[in-house]
């Protein structure tokens, strides 16, 4: 069974940093591109970042480019999102999602990030 | 960015009824490989999104055949035949043809 389990969220002050993790199981993690997608409270879905299976290709949404860094450790079956210079508008539930055939086929349960003073 | 417009924003249905949700994109979603990367997701209350349909009409594994997707270019439809209680939630269309991936605002399916 495919499982994606996010962690690392919490309450953080504006301008500070936070690092999210997503541990994958039930599939060969190193064979799949992975994404971070977020959902602000009561809002819709916003794609944040993508990393290819071997980390050769990395893309970001304009809203986070230069502040967020996506990475992965295939030996640990783990995806990361390093978030710096956090803003109130980054407050959201962050999901990791597996990508196959150019779509998001499995999603984690999400981890909440709240940016507030 | 490609704008995905879903209608209606909400639907009130009775169990057993059939419903359709529309999704229109601001650009054609046909990719250079000839495929159309338009997908449908369901977010049940309090849950994370779940893939329903990918590339317009392909059912995800375990998705009942009460769900079907049609459409082309810029105009797409999700149909649910014989709605069941487990189908309630917010439906999103998503495109991954163009960068960045974008989502519709969602259609909330509620019980009448």
Predicted local confidence at residue A114, as pLDDT: 98
The beta-carbon neighbor of B48 closest among A59, A95, A101 is: A95
CA distance A91 to B25: 27
Handedness of CA A19, A20, A25, A30 (dihedral sign): negative
Q: Which residues of B touch A64 (CB under 8 A)?
A: none
- Closest residue of chain B to A98, computed from CA coordinates: B51
CA distance A103 to A101: 6
Predicted local confidence at residue B112, as pLDDT: 86
What percent of chain B is predicted at pLDDT more than 70?
A: 100
Per-residue pLDDT tens over the stretch A5-63: 999 999 999 999 999 999 999 999 999 999 999 999 999 999 999 999 999 999 999 99
Q: Which residues of A touch B37 (CB under 8 A)?
A: 102-103
Predicted local confidence at residue A57, as pLDDT: 98
CA of B75, closest CA in chain A: separation in Å? Answer: 18
Predicted local confidence at residue B54, as pLDDT: 98
- Closest residue of chain A to B95, computed from CA coordinates: A103
**What is chain B's mean pLDDT, rounded?**
97
């Amino acid at each position: 069974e495919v499982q994606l389990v996010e962690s690392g969220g919490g309450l953080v002050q504006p301008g500070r940093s936070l690092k999210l993790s997503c541990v994958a199981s039930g599939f060969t993690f190193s064979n799949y591109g992975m994404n971070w997608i977020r959902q602000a409270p009561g809002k819709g879905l916003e794609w944040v970042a993508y990393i290819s299976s071997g980390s050769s290709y990395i893309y970001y949404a304009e809203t986070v480019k230069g502040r967020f860094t996506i990475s992965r450790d295939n030996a640990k079956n783990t995806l990361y999102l390093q978030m710096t210079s956090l803003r109130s508008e980054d407050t959201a539930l962050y999901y990791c999602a597996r990508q196959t055939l150019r779509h998001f086929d499995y999603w984690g349960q999400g981890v909440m990030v709240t940016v507030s003073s | 960015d490609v704008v995905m417009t879903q209608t209606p924003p909400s639907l009130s249905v009775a169990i057993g009824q059939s419903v359709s949700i529309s999704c229109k994109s601001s650009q054609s979603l046909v990719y250079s490989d000839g495929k159309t990367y338009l997908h449908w997701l369901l977010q049940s209350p309090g849950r994370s999104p779940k893939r329903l349909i990918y590339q317009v009409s392909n059912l995800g594994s375990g998705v009942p055949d009460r769900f079907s997707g049609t459409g082309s270019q810029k105009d797409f439809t999700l149909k649910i035949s014989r709605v069941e209680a487990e189908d309630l939630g917010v439906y999103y269309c998503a495109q991954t043809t163009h960068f960045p991936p974008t989502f519709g605002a969602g259609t909330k399916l509620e019980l009448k």
